[in-house]
Amino acid sequence: MYSIVFGSLLFHELGHLLAAKLIGVKIISCTILPYGGEIRIEQFSKFKKVHQFLIVISGPFFTLLLLAFTTIIDIPQKNIIVITQILILCINLLPIYPLDGGRVLYIFNPTRYNDLVGFSLVFSFLIFCASLYYFPRLLSVSIIFLYLFILNISFWRFRKYKLAFDNITRSA
């Protein structure tokens, strides 16, 4: 199961990496984290919104490609792979920052970053509590949302600095 999840996350991040390389963005690092992966791009906010969007949406697109491929081809453990892709896709497209769904919202509404992080804080905490209560056997999902909640506390604390940095790099 671990290799299926890890391989799926790598394939998802490959989508982001390929899109960034095709656009000509300088990639600083790529790290696989508990909720997925994180690609650090040099001055991401200075690029056109359409390029930012293409980079962000390429990960879910690759996950969707893997899902389609898995449903068409008969392979061992097909059901587990399909469920894993659906979960990765559904979780990743939630409007929670820093997931891809939250990043898309930020790209098109950068002035609403405070609202997005505040919403992400509350929403991730509510999903964490609900998943513990309704799905106690899916502890891994609860841990992902707890991690996102803690991450958003950090984003909230440093929100003024991020906005200032993004404003400076956009105008540079």
Kindly give the parts of the chain with pLDDT less than 50: none
pLDDT computed for residue 34 by the predictor: 60
| DSSP, res 95 | S
Cα separation, 47 vs 55, whole angstroms: 11
Cα separation, 168 vs 146, whole angstroms: 32
pLDDT computed for residue 172 by the predictor: 64
Q: Terminus-to-terminus CA distance in the chain, angstroms?
A: 46
Q: Is the pTM of this model over 0.85?
A: yes
pLDDT computed for residue 35 by the predictor: 64
pLDDT computed for residue 105 by the predictor: 96
pLDDT computed for residue 155 by the predictor: 94
Cα separation, 38 vs 18, whole angstroms: 14
As a whole number of Å, the CA-based R_g of the chain is: 17
- Do 73 and 79 contact (CB within 8 A), yes or no? no
Cα separation, 1 vs 8, whole angstroms: 11
Cα separation, 145 vs 79, whole angstroms: 24
pLDDT computed for residue 140 by the predictor: 82
pLDDT computed for residue 15 by the predictor: 95
Cα separation, 28 vs 15, whole angstroms: 16
- Do 57 and 108 contact (CB within 8 A), yes or no? no
Helices (H), 31-112: 49-72, 78-92, 100-108
pLDDT computed for residue 37 by the predictor: 82
pLDDT computed for residue 90 by the predictor: 93
